[in-house]
Amino acid sequence: MTETPRMTDTIALARNRKRAKGSDLFLQKAAADEVQDRLLLVKKVFRSPALVTPFASVWPQDILNQASIVQDEDILPLRQTAHDLVIHSLALHWANDPVGQLIQCKRALTPDGLFIGFTLAGQTLHELRSSLAQAESEVVGGLSPRVAPMPEIRDLGALLQRAGFAMPVADSVMIKTSYDDMWALTRDLRKMGESNALAGRLRHCTPPSVMKRAAQIYKTNYGTDDNRVTATFELVVLTGWAPDESQPKPLRPGSAEARLADVLKTSEVKLSD
């Protein structure tokens, strides 16, 4: 049987994450802050949460004290129907099977349990991707995998549905940052544990001429008035509930008992043929 190709080199990913420094994990901290804000809007007390994260140290102590902390392995060490809240924090973009991760999270939830997931999406590092692609094409006449592919928000919403969540919602938070130059950005990505860990990446050093040209293109296309460059991170928040009979259900088509025109107190006008 042919083995399914894997997107991520998990050994390289683990090595990259070991280099990460807590003071530079601003995206992970943004996810933690976003969870706290969103839980304030939910009128429910969670008594058995689970947190899937490679960087537990950035999470507030009140969540850590209550939650079961697990790593984002291919098989999540979560017991079925054991948690009323599962948080999956900024690891799905490296998952070889993101749908499988979501299904495992749903199975770990009690009926009417809440899932909150964070992942990076389509607009993330689009400046770096395009600059590297143009430079490599110009200098060596080809392209190689350098930045993990990022799904669009509509695709992520569809993944929630495929995983079987009720009332799935996907929304995004756009984070705009600036750096002195492309080199400063790549150093920051290294300190965040987000360096290239793609299984299909080059296994030899990139020619310096490619990187130098990429930095020039980046500066030209994405430079700011104060002589810096911009970088975008699109943080997508995924929410869904484990199905339960107590949840609201959509009405059957044609079952309405009142006309919309009557509710709006307006006249109904038929479309002309």
The CATH number that applies at residue 174 is 3.40.50.150
Pairing of strands 83-89, 109-120: parallel
Number of domains the chain is built from: 1
What pLDDT shows up at residue 271? 64
Establish if 269 belongs to a structural domain.
no
**What percentage of the chain's residues is helix, strand, coil (to nearest 5)?**
40, 20, 40
pLDDT in tens, 47-76: 999 999 999 888 888 787 788 999 999 999
Residue 67, domain member (yes or no):
yes
Confidence at residue 1, expressed as pLDDT on a 0 to 100 scale: 42
- In whole angstroms, give the CA distance from residue 96 to residue 73: 10
Could you list the residue range(s) of the whole structural domain that residue 173 is in?
Answer: 10-263
The answer as to whether 268 is a domain residue is: no
Selection from 213, 233, 209 nearest residue 131 by Cα? 213
68, 104 contact by CB (below 8 A): no
- Is 19 domain-assigned? yes
Alpha-helix runs per DSSP H in 74-125: 98-108
Antiparallel, parallel or unpaired: β 68-70 and 83-89: unpaired
Round to whole Å and give the CA distance between 117 and 236.
8
Q: pTM value? A: 0.83
Instruction: Tell me if 143 is assigned to some domain.
Output: yes
What is the reported pLDDT for 273?
A: 54
Instruction: Using 70 as the pLDDT threshold, list the residues of the chain that sit under it.
Output: 1-5, 249-260, 263, 270-273
Selection from 23, 27, 5 nearest residue 194 by Cα: 27
* Domain assignment present for 1: no
